[in-house]
Each structure stands twice: as C-alpha cells, then as structure tokens.
Amino acid sequence: MKTALIIEDQPSNMQVFCLLLTHQGYRVLEATTDKEAIEAANLEIGPIDLILCDLTSLIPLVQSSLGSLSSRSKCGGPHRLWNTTNRLERER
C-alpha cells in the first residue's frame, strides 16, 4: 500500500484530501503544521510516496526538512503536490 503525507491546516480540506486519497488506495498520514509533518515522517517506517502540502506550510517545511522527507521514497523521492484553497484578499 502506498503512503501519503498530507500537510493541511483547514479541517474540511484535510477531510476531502484524506477521503480522495484513501479511495485511491493510499494510507494517509495527517499533519496540520510543518513540525507535525516532520514528526509523522520520522515515525513512519516505510516510504512516503506522496506529499500533499498546503502552500501556507510550504516555506517553513522547506526551511526545516523537506529534503529529509523526500529521501524516504524507494524511487527517487515522493511526488509532491502543493495546494491552496485560500483566495487572495483582492478576489473576495
């Protein structure tokens, strides 16, 4: 079974992403902050095949340890997807 790590601070978004990935056969690790993501990855024994990251978590995650997360996959690192569901202030 493939493993996905989702880093998302909005509960409704997390729920949707978990549901979609679970239906695609992924086992999902959930994190709401960059620190939780690193902790979840460090506790995981097997490879992480997919990282789905909210853009608001991206900068701290890159500055901390995205490289160490990327080295966890058997085939050159996990696929990484960045997302944002927040509209810009001027669009509201």
| 34-92: pLDDT as tens digits | 889 889 988 988 888 888 887 765 655 555 555 555 554 444 555 555 565 655 444 44
The answer to whether 66 and 56 are in contact (CB under 8 A) is no
Q: What pLDDT sits at residue 89?
A: 45
Give CA–CA dist 72/3, Å, rounded. Answer: 11
pLDDT for res 41: 87
Q: Which pLDDT value is given to residue 23?
A: 97
Cβ neighbours of 81 (radius 10 Å): 12
CATH class of the region 2-85? alpha beta
- The C-alpha torsion from 50 through 53 and 57 to 59, rounded to 10°, is 70
What is the per-residue pLDDT for 80? 56
Query: Does the pLDDT at position 33 exceed 90?
Result: no
Q: What is the token pair recorded at 63?
A: 């500055």
Can you give 2-34 as a three-state secondary structure string? Answer: EEEEEECCCHHHHHHHHHHHHHCCEEEEEECCH
